[in-house]
C-alpha cells in the first residue's frame, strides 16, 4: 500500500459513519432496490448507483464502508472479461459507485448456480437439504451430504424475484407461470453455467473457490438477452479460501470466506432476522471486518489495488462526490 494512504483498517474506521446509504438525484426519476438506486436517463439508458447498504434476509441490515465501490468496480471488471459468453448491460463507469447501463426488461427470475452444499438463508441449499428435501428446484440430490460438501457438479437453482421474499422454483414452473419461455430459460441456464465455469477457473488462479452465485438477466430494447445487475461480487457470490478449505472442512470448521455469511450467522444467533420487526445494530467491529473482506475480495479477484478517496475528496461527502462526477459527464 502506498505511503500516502492510511492503513486499510484505519481508513474503514474513519468512514464508518460516512457511508453512502441513499443517493438523491431529484432531477432524475429514482427507483430503489435493496442495495441499488436506479435512475432513468432516457429510453435506452439507466444510471445505477450502488450504495453501501447491506441486504440479507429480505431486508437491509446495515451499511458497510466502501461496499458500493467494491460491488460496482468488481462487476465492471467481470463484465469486461465475460462479454464473449453473453452480452451485458454496462456502458460506462462514471463514479466508483455508479455506472451507466443499457435499459432492459429483467426476467423475474434469479439464476442461482451452486457448487457446494452450504448457506444459512431460507432459500439456501443447505437449509432445504437438512430439512430432508432431496429434490430442489428440479435437481435430485443424493443422501449423505454434509454442510460445505462439494457437489458432484454445479447445479442451477432458480428463484423468483418477488417484491418481499424470493421463492425457489423449478424450470418447468418458470415456463408454466409465464416467467420465461422455454427457449429463454435454456439460453439463460446455459449462459449461467458457462459464466460460473469461467468464474470458477478465474477464482482458482487466485487461490479462491467460487462456491455459488446468482445472475440476473434481461431483454434489451433490441431483443438481446443480456447479463445485468452485478456479476461475481462478494454480494452475489460466495468465495472461500481455497488452500485451507479441505483441512477446515475435515475439522468441521466453516471455510474462510470473503462474503457476508459471517454477519448473517451473527444476526441468526442474536435475533430472528425474518420475523423481528426491529433488528439489533450490527457491532462496529463486525462491520469493519466485513468492509475489509469486501476490499480484500476486490483486490484478490481483480488483481488491482483498492483506491481509497484521496485527500481532496475526504472533505466532501460520498453524495457530493457522486454529483461532481456525474456533472463531468453531463448528468
Question: Integer distance in angstroms from the first to the last C-alpha of the chain?
Answer: 33
> How many folded domains does the chain comprise?
1
Range of the domain at 45: 8-328
pLDDT, mean of each 10-residue run, the chain (331 residues): 63 90 86 90 95 89 94 98 98 97 96 95 90 96 97 97 82 97 98 98 97 97 96 94 97 88 88 92 93 93 89 69 91 89
pLDDT at 4: 41
pLDDT digits (tens, 9 = 90+) for 62-104: 999 999 999 999 999 999 999 999 999 999 999 999 999 999 9
Q: Which three cell numbers stand for residue 315?
A: 472533505
| 240 located within any domain | yes
| 84 located within any domain | yes
The pTM of the full predicted model, rounded to 2 decimals, is: 0.91
DSSP state, residue 311: G
Cα–Cα distance for residue pair 251/45, rounded to 1 Å:
50
pLDDT at 311: 59
pLDDT at 174: 97
Q: Which three cell numbers stand for residue 124?
A: 439456501
**Length of the chain, please?**
331
pLDDT digits (tens, 9 = 90+) for 117-146: 998 878 899 999 999 999 999 999 999 999
Q: Which three cell numbers stand for residue 192?
A: 449461467
pLDDT at 228: 97
| 3 located within any domain | no
> What CATH number did the domain enclosing 271 receive?
3.30.470.20
For 10-77, give the DSSP string: HHHHHTTT--------TTSEEEE-SSEEEEE-SSSEEEEEE-SEEEETTEEEEE-TTHHHHHHHHHHH
| 297 located within any domain | yes
Amino acid at each position: 500500500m502506498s505511503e500516502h494512504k492510511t492503513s486499510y483498517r484505519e481508513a474503514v474506521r474513519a468512514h464508518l459513519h460516512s457511508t453512502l446509504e441513499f443517493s438523491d438525484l431529484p432531477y432524475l426519476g429514482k427507483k430503489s432496490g435493496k442495495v441499488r438506486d436506479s435512475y432513468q436517463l432516457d429510453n435506452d439508458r439507466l444510471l445505477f448507483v450502488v450504495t453501501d447498504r447491506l441486504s440479507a434476509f429480505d431486508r437491509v441490515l446495515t451499511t458497510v464502508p466502501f461496499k458500493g465501490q467494491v460491488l460496482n468496480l468488481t462487476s465492471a471488471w467481470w463484465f469486461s472479461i465475460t462479454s464473449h459468453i453473453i452480452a451485458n448491460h454496462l456502458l460506462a463507469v462514471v463514479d466508483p459507485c455508479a455506472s451507466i447501463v443499457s435499459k432492459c426488461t429483467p426476467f423475474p427470475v434469479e439464476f442461482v448456480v451452486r457448487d457446494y452444499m452450504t448457506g444459512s438463508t431460507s432459500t439456501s441449499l443447505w437449509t432445504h437439504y437438512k430439512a430432508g428435501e432431496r429434490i430442489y428446484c428440479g435437481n435430485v440430490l443424493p443422501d449423505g451430504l454434509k454442510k460445505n460438501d462439494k457437489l458432484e457438479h454445479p447445479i442451477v437453482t432458480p428463484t423468483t424475484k418477488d417484491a418481499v421474499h424470493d421463492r425457489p422454483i423449478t424450470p418447468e414452473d418458470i415456463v408454466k407461470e409465464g416467467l420465461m419461455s422455454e427457449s429463454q430459460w435454456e439460453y439463460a441456464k446455459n449462459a449461467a453455467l458457462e459464466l460460473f465455469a469461467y468464474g470458477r477457473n478465474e477464482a482458482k488462479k487466485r487461490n479462491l473457490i467460487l462456491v455459488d452465485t446468482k445472475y440476473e438477466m434481461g431483454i434489451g430494447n433490441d431483443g438481446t438477452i443480456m447479463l445485468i445487475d452485478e456479476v461475481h461480487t462478494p454480494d452475489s457470490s460466495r468465495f472461500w479460501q481455497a488452500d485451507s478449505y479441505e483441512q477446515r472442512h475435515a475439522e468441521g470448521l466453516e471455510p474462510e470466506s470473503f462474503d457476508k455469511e459471517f454477519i448473517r450467522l451473527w444476526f441468526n444467533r442474536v435475533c430472528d432476522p425474518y420475523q423481528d420487526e426491529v433488528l439489533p445494530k450490527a457491532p462496529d467491529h463486525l462491520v469493519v471486518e466485513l468492509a475489509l473482506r469486501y476490499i480484500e475480495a476486490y483486490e484478490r479477484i481483480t488483481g488491482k489495488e483498492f483506491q481509497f478517496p484521496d485527500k481532496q475528496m475526504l472533505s466532501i461527502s460520498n453524495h457530493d462526490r457522486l454529483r461532481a462526477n456525474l456533472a463531468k459527464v453531463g448528468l
